[in-house]
């Protein structure tokens, strides 16, 4: 069993890091499922993360959201 540091960090044991080929800088998805903390190694684009937002998002969905946010930021900065 691993202990939580005062900065709320844990160390992933080397056997698990090696098995999953986890390297420094890898992106990990962390979420709660029932009473468990789940950590998944993810790769690929943001749409492949399968974020738990109620539905899957396509690259097209994400690009549209980014474009709309950029337009909104542009409007806010011009006022």
At 72 the pLDDT is: 67
At 40 the pLDDT is: 86
pLDDT of 6 over the 60 cut: yes
The tokens for 15 are 């056997």
Q: Rounded to whole angstroms, how far apart are CA atoms 76 and 70?
A: 10
pLDDT tens digits along 17-57: 999 999 888 888 888 889 998 888 876 655 555 555 666 77
pLDDT of 67 over the 90 cut: no
């Amino acid at each position: 069993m691993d202990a939580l540091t005062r900065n709320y960090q844990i160390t992933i044991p080397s056997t698990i890091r090696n098995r999953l080929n986890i390297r420094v800088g890898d992106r990990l998805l962390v979420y709660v499922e029932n009473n468990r903390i789940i950590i998944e190694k993810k790769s690929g684009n943001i749409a492949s993360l399968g974020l738990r937002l109620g539905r899957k998002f396509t690259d097209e969905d994400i690009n549209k959201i980014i474009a709309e946010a950029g337009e909104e930021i542009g409007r806010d900065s011009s006022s």
